[in-house]
A = this chain, B = another copy of it.
Amino acid sequence: MKFCSSCGHTIEVKVPPGDHLPRHTCPACGIIHYQNPRIIAGCLPVWEDRILICRRAIEPRHGFWTLPAGFMENNETVAQGAAREAQEEVLADVEIGSLLAVVNVLHTHQVHMMFRARLRNLDFGVGPESLEVKLVREHEIPWHELAFQSIHFSLQRFLEDRAAGQELLHMHTLP
């Protein structure tokens, strides 16, 4: 951020009076442009004993496997964002279930919120941000070709919970 998005003046980075962190501040109009973490909303869609995963057609981590997830938008709930991402990335109609994981990803300034989900039918497909979409059983999960640590964490906790017959919320932090 170099220019004030409100008045166009050059931005200064300084600690405002009464604050404790440096902020992007406009010396002309006085506006403080706060920067805060963004929410990644996603889900783990299942059909019977299988999980729907997709291979990324975009950077970062092009070619690696993931679960449908993406930036939450204004004017939607976290669960609606998770369902929308499933629709966009794997063309799937899902019923969102319980919250599975909240993962703080510090270096990207993101909070990943992953829900359990149920596929309403088998009419899924390859969305524009995916190379490939498939249903996998536990032993077929490509653990060494997963795109992100938060996806690895979500899959692990989901499988442990399923084996134990429970649905817990799991919190985690990644540097």
Binding site for B on A (CB under 8 A): 1-8, 10-11, 18, 21, 33-39, 71-79, 98-99, 102, 104, 106, 109, 111, 113, 128, 169, 171, 173
Contact = CB atoms under 8 A, between A and B. Distances in A.
A171 B10 CA distance: 41
A136 B111 CA distance: 32
Q: How many copies does the complex hold?
A: 2
A36 to B, nearest CB: 5
Given A1-B6, A99-B169, A71 B104 contact: no
A174 B122 CA distance: 33
Contacts of A76: 104, 106
21 contacts: A1-B5, A1-B6, A2-B6, A2-B7, A3-B4, A3-B5, A3-B7, A3-B8, A5-B5, A8-B10, A18-B128, A35-B74, A36-B38, A36-B72, A39-B111, A76-B104, A77-B173, A78-B104, A79-B171, A98-B169, A169-B169
